[in-house]
Amino acid sequence: MTQEIGHTEVIARFSITDLDCDPDIMTERLHIQPTKIWRVGDERAKPGSGLTFENSGWRIESDLPRTRPVMDHVENLLKRMAPGWSILTNVSAGYYIELALAITMPEGERPELHFDAAILSKLAEVNAHIDVDLY
């Protein structure tokens, strides 16, 4: 991840893993184009690394500039997931669902993280986990 000096950068992802179906089927169900899909046995890292995925997954990433505030990315993901949300609430029980934030900051800077009740309630509808990594 490259970073301009003095700017916090955010990568925000909404992932669904442990799929019991092909990720393309999840795309059809949700009517949302993912940023990335993977299947059991696909390589996880650089070709030839020998690391493979142990489960299938589906992921969408925020399409905002990485320098936007953290919570803008969260709201962007929830808005982009809206067309398939009702379907996801009905099928989420068997999947691992995660909102992941990777935040890279200049030394001494701190990100603003405030998950209000509406966001937490929305994520709870699909039993989503929240993962925040600070770099």
Per-residue pLDDT of the chain (135 residues; tens, 9 = 90+): 444 446 899 999 999 999 989 999 999 999 999 999 999 999 887 777 889 999 999 999 999 999 999 999 999 999 999 999 999 999 888 899 999 999 999 888 888 899 999 999 999 999 999 999 999
> Helix, strand, coil % (nearest 5) of the chain?
30, 25, 45
CA distance 125 to 122: 5
CA atoms within 13 A on the CB side of 40: 7
DSSP of 85-135: HHHHHHHGGGSEEEEEEEEE--TT--------HHHHHHHHTTT-EEEEEE-
- pTM value surpassing 0.85: yes
Question: Domain boundaries in the chain?
Answer: 9-22+60-134
- With a CB cutoff of 8 Å and minimum separation 6, the contacts of 18 are 55, 56, 57, 94, 95, 96
pLDDT of the residue at 26 = 95
Residue (of 102, 99, 67) closest to 80 by Cα position: 99
List the 129-134 sheet strands across, edge first. Answer: 36-38, 57-61, 9-17, 96-104, 129-134
